């Protein structure tokens, strides 16, 4: 991708956001769409977040338990380090990367299909701000539901580790729980939630941008969906680096 086309895309994205971030034509219709999106994008993602968090949580604890094996370190360190990893990076960043695939491709393909089947043109001709009507409920719903998913993921990740400790006894569940509680800083949870909301905005708006600008046929909708996942993944990683430097540096 050339610099010119990248700059063009950024400009188009900014112009689209200007149309999206306007008061809705009808609050009643916005509320209707918003509740549908909460269910579709948020509630429907709980199962995948649960499964991934449980297993990765267990694996994180297992890796740390095997690699921190020094008599100088208390075994409760396993719980403390796992907690930090799960709260700071796993639940807020890795889960967002996974949701960039699930939710991002869903948004891009849904809006892309509406574009190529002229449903968006139909909205425009009616005098409806199609960008606002289609994209704003998705962005607001996903941004607001992101903290719920992150909190859920954190609990499931830590619970996955607990289950592993219960099965292997390395460390014991009491030691693990003590480690989780040891020197707990609430600010890290806020950091994680704010970061996830920022990622939620990136995932939903960038995917919507790719879908809204899809042209051609079914193949192009597939391409828009793939491109949105790639762009979202890169943007999440770059934003994570910048955000971490800003907040922790």
Partner 1 sequence: MIEVQNLIKEFEGRVVLNNISTKFKEGAVNMIIGKSGSGKSVFLKCLVGLLRPEGGKILYDGKDFLKMKHKEAKRLHRNMGMLFQNAALFDSKTVLENVMFPLDMFSRKNYRERKKRAEFCLERVDLLDAANLYPSEISGGMMKRAAIARAIALNPKYLFCDEPNSGLDPKTSQLIDELIQGITKDLEITTIVVSHDMNSVMNIGDHIIFINEGVKEWEGTKNHIMDSDNKELNEFVFASDLFKKIKEVEETGPETRHPEA
User: Which of 15, 27, 122, 166 is close enough to bind partner 1 by CB under 8 A?
Assistant: 122
124: contact with partner 1 by CB under 8 A: yes
Q: Is the peptide bond before 243 cis (omega within 30 degrees of 0)?
A: no
Judged by CB under 8 A, which stretch of 2-10, 109-117, 188-196, 216-224 contacts partner 1? 109-117
44: contact with partner 1 by CB under 8 A: no
220: contact with partner 1 by CB under 8 A: no
Query: For residues 204 and 84, is the Cβ–Cβ distance under 8 A?
Result: no
Q: How far is the CB of 126 from partner 1 (least distance, A)?
A: 5
User: Which of 29, 44, 168, 241 is close enough to bind partner 1 by CB under 8 A?
Assistant: 29
127: contact with partner 1 by CB under 8 A: yes
For the chain, give percent helix, strand, coil, nearest 5: 85, 0, 15
117: contact with partner 1 by CB under 8 A: yes
- 97 vs 116, which CB is nearer to partner 1? 116
Size of the site for partner 1 (CB under 8 A): 16
25: contact with partner 1 by CB under 8 A: yes
**Structure tokens, 88:** 């700071």
Distance, in Å, from the CA atom of 151 to the CA atom of 140, rounded to the nearest integer, reads 18
31: contact with partner 1 by CB under 8 A: no
**Structure tokens, 59:** 């694996």
**Structure tokens, 161:** 């580790």
Query: For residues 160 and 180, is the Cβ–Cβ distance under 8 A?
Result: no
Q: How far is the CB of 128 from partner 1 (least distance, A)?
A: 6
φ, ψ (nearest 5 deg) of residue 215: -140, 145
Query: For residues 229 and 202, is the Cβ–Cβ distance under 8 A?
Result: no
Residues that bind partner 1 (CB under 8 A): 25-26, 28-29, 113-114, 117-119, 121-122, 124-128
């Amino acid at each position: 991708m050339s610099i010119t086309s990248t700059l063009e895309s950024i400009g188009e994205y900014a112009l689209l956001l200007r149309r999206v971030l306007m008061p809705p034509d009808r609050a009643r219709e916005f509320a209707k769409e918003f509740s549908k999106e909460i269910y579709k994008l948020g509630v429907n993602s709980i199962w995948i977040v649960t499964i991934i968090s449980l297993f990765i949580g267990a694996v994180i604890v297992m890796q740390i338990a095997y690699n921190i094996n020094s008599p100088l370190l208390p075994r409760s360190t396993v719980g403390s380090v796992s907690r930090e990893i799960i709260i700071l990076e796993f639940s807020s960043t890795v889960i967002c990367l996974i949701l960039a695939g699930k939710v991002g491709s869903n948004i891009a393909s849904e809006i892309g299909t509406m574009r190529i089947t002229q449903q968006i043109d139909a909205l425009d001709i009616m005098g409806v701000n199609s960008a606002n009507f289609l994209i704003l409920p998705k962005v607001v719903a996903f941004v607001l539901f992101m903290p719920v998913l992150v909190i859920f993921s954190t609990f499931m990740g830590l619970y996955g580790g607990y289950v592993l400790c219960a099965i292997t006894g390395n460390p014991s569940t009491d030691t693990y729980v003590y480690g989780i509680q040891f020197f707990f800083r609430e600010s890290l949870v806020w950091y994680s939630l704010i970061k996830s909301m920022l990622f939620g905005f990136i995932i939903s708006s960038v995917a919507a941008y790719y879908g809204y600008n899809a042209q051609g046929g079914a193949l192009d909708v597939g391409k828009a969906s793939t491109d949105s996942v790639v762009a979202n993944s890169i943007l999440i990683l770059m934003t994570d680096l910048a955000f971490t430097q800003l907040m922790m540096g």
